[in-house]
């Protein structure tokens, strides 16, 4: 994914946790909207170990290497990935 969009890969460490919306387990809930903040706890999200993402939301796995500041939006037949500098100013 990073090569396709021209981003330098920055995958989270395998021992890290990520923030995920509790409804991400609903595989029929579209679109899937993801964003990469700098590491920081966020109250809105539920904490999840990265190793469990395969069970919770496998469609998000291919975007994990995107560095902070990148976003994605995925739905059946649609995929958009873009850089959003405002994510770094939080």
Task: Enter the tokens of residue 50.
Answer: 């990265």
The count of other CB atoms within 10 Å of the CB of residue 30 is 13
Question: Considering its fold, how many domains does the chain have in total?
Answer: 1
Task: Enter the tokens of residue 31.
Answer: 């679109």
Residues whose CB is less than 8 angstroms from the CB of residue 78 and which lie 6 or more positions away in sequence, other chains included = 31
Walk along the chain (90 residues) and give the pLDDT tens digit of each residue: 999 999 999 998 888 888 888 888 877 888 988 888 887 756 667 888 888 888 888 889 999 999 999 999 999 999 999 999 998 986
- Domain extent at residue 65: 2-89
């Amino acid at each position: 994914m990073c090569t396709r969009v021209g981003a330098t890969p920055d995958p989270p460490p395998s021992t890290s946790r990520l923030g995920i919306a509790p409804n991400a387990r609903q595989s029929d809930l579209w679109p899937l909207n993801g964003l990469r903040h700098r590491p920081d706890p966020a109250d809105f999200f539920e904490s999840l170990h990265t190793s469990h993402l395969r069970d919770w939301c496998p469609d998000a796995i291919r975007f994990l290497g995107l560095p902070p500041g990148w976003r994605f939006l995925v739905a059946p037949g649609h995929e958009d990935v873009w850089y959003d500098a405002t994510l770094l100013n939080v």
